[in-house]
Amino acid sequence: MEQTIIYERPSSMVDLRLNYCPGCGHGTAHRLICEAVDELDVRERTIAVAPVGCAVNAYDYFDFDVCEAAHGRAAAVATGIKRVLPDRLVISYQGDGDLASIGMAETIHAANRGENITVIFINNANYGMTGGQMAPTSLVGQITTTTPGGRNPSTEGYPIKMAELIATFPGVKYAVRTTVADVRGVRETKKAIRKAFELQLDGKGYSFVEILSNCNTNWKMTPVESNKYITNELVNFFPIGVYKDDYKE
Amino acid sequence: MSKRMLMKGNIALAEGAVIAGCRYYFGYPITPQNEIPEYMASRLPEAGGVFVQAESEVASVNMVLGAASAGARAMTTTSSPGFSLMQEGVSYLAACHLPCLMANVQRGGPGLGNIAASQADYFQAVKGGGHGDYHLIVLAPNSPQEMMDFAILGYELADTYRIPSLILSDGVIGLMMESVTVRDDYVPKPPAKPWALTGCKGREKNVIRSLWLDEDGVIINNNKLQAKYREIEKNEIRYEEYMTEDADVIAVAYGMPSRIARTVVESMRVEGLKVGVFRPITLYPFPYQRLADLASRVKSMLVVEMSAGQMVEDVRLAVNGKAPVELYGTPGGAFPEEAEVYRRLKSLLK
């Protein structure tokens, strides 16, 4: 019987074992980025900016040019690259501490300048790599190592909704929130990433894809439980959807 | 044909960078260096380049990191409190072996200080400032002409060694106007940058990084950095001497105080007093050996600097007890007085 390959490793993803915890969403997000890069046939003109945090080793997994950035500064680094090489696909890959806390200024101002870059924002509601401390996106009541009694808005404030915030800037052309917690979410995420890349390659302007992902280790859940937590709890505060699309089909 | 023009130091620096092939400037306003971003805002688009007013010094130095990663001659400039904010990025630039040009037109500190000229960021410029074991090539101009020339030299050295170059200037050199020979016949020849991030067409992927979580990566990178620094220390030491051949006392000064010291020495020579001036031009690499040689045959040295005493430590290190080293330091944006330089040199001659 003739065999047909229907699923394989994207050619722009290095054949390496990922260092992420089993069940973590980073691997899925990496794969979706690489699939989109392959489909658009732009591996040779893609430059990514790797974050500080769990995904810091992204440059080992992406088989295209990658620059490191200091914590929070990825959008500024991406700005510098894109201004020099405006015809390249420039991707900034960042976590929630990186993008919404220490790098909030860089994040907002790159969006406000309408830099023609794509920011992929992995929101797992805590600081994963450093051991599960509170992030700006941790939910009210969420127990983390630095909010042992649960996040209390009267002392720690409220979680920040980045996709909604980013969508307010005129320079932003596309801002969405998706998940990688279930099959449907993965499909939507892939569509969003591909669209964001296409808009950038067409010179349309800034695009932002927030992906709700899990941190089963620090959430102290099984991978399955953590994905259920996203679809049952996290989405209630961070609703999935398109917050801005200046180029609706 | 080169032309002569009356130019402010800050403008000379900016135009020098453009002549050197800089087409990407990222910066944030702060006095006393605002002429540089203001000039670049109109000059760079005219030259086919890009000017971005960043949201902060933190962002501007990281934009430089991105542009340098992409292989461009990129630049940022600032003044003391701004350079403090850039230190995180400076450490990353150094660790990532990225060539670029930066300038710190120093003002009085610490803290917000004032907007008067100062040299109190010497430690920050040559001893680190950011975290980790690293150096920058640090050039200290004392005229608008050198502001221009060192912008060009800074890029040449940066590209040769894949290292950030820093022009350590001060508010007076930045704002004074003098006749400058504009090097508009200069043709920049940046080397090929096969390491740059341009998209991996026809080659393996390139990665610009400073993080290694394995056992040896950071040590290997540090050893590479240190080997590079030894090479720079061997090849790139620059200094200027005035009347040091037979001097009994030598004033050691860089930047603006070196001009004051020279004026005083000129008048003392008229009186037949054997004094001279030694001016470090590269603050890193520092001219330790030449100062040591001079120390073995002078009565003493006088360090004149606009700080409470920073470069004096390197002079003492160089001299290593062979001669007494006195300090005339003026902190907080205060200016050294000619009469005081004269008085101190004369007393050291006795």
pLDDT tens, chain B, 350 aa long: 579 999 999 999 999 999 999 999 999 999 999 999 999 999 999 999 999 999 999 999 999 999 999 999 999 999 999 999 999 999 999 999 999 999 999 999 999 999 999 999 999 999 989 999 999 999 999 999 999 999 999 999 999 999 999 999 999 999 999 999 999 899 999 999 999 999 999 999 999 999 998 889 999 999 999 999 999 999 999 999 999 999 999 999 999 999 999 999 999 999 999 999 999 999 999 999 999 999 999 999 999 999 999 999 999 999 999 999 999 999 999 999 999 999 999 999 99
Among B56, B65, B210, beta carbon nearest to A80: B65
**Residue B63: closest C-alpha in chain A:** A80
Residues on B contacting A at a C-beta cutoff of 8 Å: 24, 26, 50, 52, 54-56, 58-60, 62-72, 74, 88-89, 92, 96, 197-202, 205-211, 213
| Nearest CB to A80 within list B67, B198, B202 | B67
For B95, the closest chain A residue by CA position comes to A68
Residue pair B144/B177 in contact by the 8 Å Cβ criterion:
yes
Closest among B82, B86, B158, B171 to B129, alpha carbons compared:
B86
Mutate one of A64, A67, A87, A200 to test the B interface: name it (highest B CB count within 10 A).
A67
Return the number of CB contacts < 8 Å for A and B. 131
The predicted structure's pLDDT at residue B1: 59
Closest CA to A98 of A36, A41, A54, A66: A54
Residue B205 and residue A64: Cβ atoms within 8 Å? yes
Which of B288, B350, B297, B285 is closest to B315 using CA atoms? B288
Q: Which residues, including other chains, have CB under 8 Å from residue A79's CB and lie 6 or more apart?
A: A110, A113, A115, A117, B52, B59, B63, B66
Cβ pair A47:B62 closer than 8 A: no
Please answer whether residues B68 and A80 qualify as being in contact, where contact means their C-beta atoms are separated by less than 8 angstroms: yes
3-state class of A79 per DSSP? helix
Of A81, A105, A108, the CB nearest to B197: A81
User: Does residue B257 have a cis peptide bond before it, meaning omega lies within 30 degrees of 0?
Assistant: no
Chain A residues with a Cβ under 8 Å from any Cβ in chain B: 43-47, 49-50, 56-57, 59, 62-70, 73, 76-85, 88, 105-106, 108-109, 113
Looking only at the bridges linking them, the beta strands covering A172-179 and A241-245 are: antiparallel
Please provide residue B242's backbone torsions phi and psi, each rounded to the nearest 5 degrees. Answer: -130, 115
Q: Is B270 exposed, middle or buried (0-12, 13-18, 19+ CB in 10 A)?
A: exposed
Which neighbouring-strand residues pair with A89? A46
- Identify the closest residue of chain A to B91 by CA–CA distance: A70
Neighbour-count burial for A123-158, b at 16+ CB within 10 Å, e otherwise: bbbbbbbeebbbbbbbbeebbbeebeeebeeeebee
| A90 three-state secondary structure | strand
Q: Mean pLDDT for chain A?
A: 97
What's the rounded Cα separation, in Å, for the pair B106 and B174?
A: 9
Judge: A67–B197 Cβ closer than 8 Å, yes or no.
yes
pTM of the model: 0.97
CA nearest A68 in B: which residue? B209
Residue B251 to chain A, least CA–CA distance (Å): 42
Give the residues of chain A that fall short of pLDDT 70.
none
Spatial contact of B342 and B261, defined as CB atoms under 8 Å apart? no
Q: Which residues contact A4 (CB under 8 A, 6 or more apart)?
A: none
